[in-house]
Amino acid sequence: MQGLWGFHNYVTAAVQVAPKRQLEEKLPFGKFRLTHEWDRFYDSAALVAEMGNVFEFVLCRTSLVGLVSIFEAAVERFIQRVMEQDKVQRVPNKYNAQLRWVFDCVKETGVGSPAILDRLPETCGDVDNARRLRNCIAHNNGKYDDSYYEDVIDDGWVKVRIEPDYDQYRRDRWMPIFLVTARFEYFSRSHIELLHILHNTIQAKFFGHLQGFHYGKERKSIEWHRVLSGKSSVGM
């Protein structure tokens, strides 16, 4: 997930400094191979012009899909590990159910600073919000649908999070999901923080390892060659 943040900001910076003419020149001219057999004709100048209008929210939606998918995969690995060790009963292999297990797991945790623990219900709500946004982006062409609200995890402890522009969707059923970099980075922080707490809670609760780790205190610089190449052990 740190690598996704790096990629997102690298691409944003590159696009901001690149002259439009040079962007056009680096794109395939006139057509590109759409399938293994078919070519698709297009205007590279028109692509650059339109991308200039929508670049940020298209990139942010794509980054959010990647963020949720990486987090989902990490959660699945954690759950698989504790099930293999007979630490918990079977958890259904559905992300909604797995998130409910995660929220129950960290609900009573004492692992983390007072500020992190106070924020935890909201952080869990952020992660569930991102799950529902990801589903709309992936399954409804980047637009809200009724499932965004109806599929919320509301167990009385998690603080339900709803995007402000969802109310506009109720008036305009074609309302697309608009995200900006600041919003993506907020979701990134919530996912990384929750995964950090979950990891340390699992270590303490199921394996007796009470000493966790703290990126801020360690002041350890990101090893980009590991993060971006996929060699990082937990993907945070």
Encoded tokens for 124: 């869990």
For 201, the domain range is 56-227
In a domain, 29, yes or no: no
Which residue in 200, 223, 8, 75 sits closest to 231, CA to CA?
223
- Is residue 106 situated within a structural domain? yes
Is residue 83 included in any domain, yes or no? yes
- Segment 18-40 shows an average pLDDT of 95
pLDDT at 235 over 80: no
pLDDT digits (tens, 9 = 90+) for 111-160: 888 999 999 999 999 999 999 999 999 999 999 999 999 999 999 999 99
Within-domain flag for 42: no
Where residue 234 falls among pLDDT bands split at 50, 70, 90?
Answer: very low
What pLDDT was estimated at residue 211?
64
Distance CA 56, CA 66 (A): 15
pLDDT score at 69? 97
Number of compact structural domains in the chain: 1
* Segment 208-223 mean pLDDT: 71
How does pLDDT run across 51-96, given as a tens digit for each residue?
999 999 999 999 999 999 999 999 999 999 999 888 888 999 999 9
Within a domain: 45: no
What's the CA angle centered on 2, arms 224 and 126, to 5 degrees? 180
Closest CA to 105 of 87, 132, 131: 87
pTM of the model as a whole? 0.90
Work out the average pLDDT over 182-199: 97
Residue 174 lies in a domain: yes
Residue 12 domain-assigned (yes or no)? no
Which CB contacts under 8 angstroms, 24+ apart, belong to 21-27? Answer: 23/48, 24/48
Tell me what pLDDT residue 232 has.
53
> Which string of DSSP letters, residue by residue, matches 72-139?
HHHHHHHHHHHHHTTSS----SSHHHHHHHHHHHHHT---S-HHHHHHHHHHHHHHHHHHHHHHHHHH
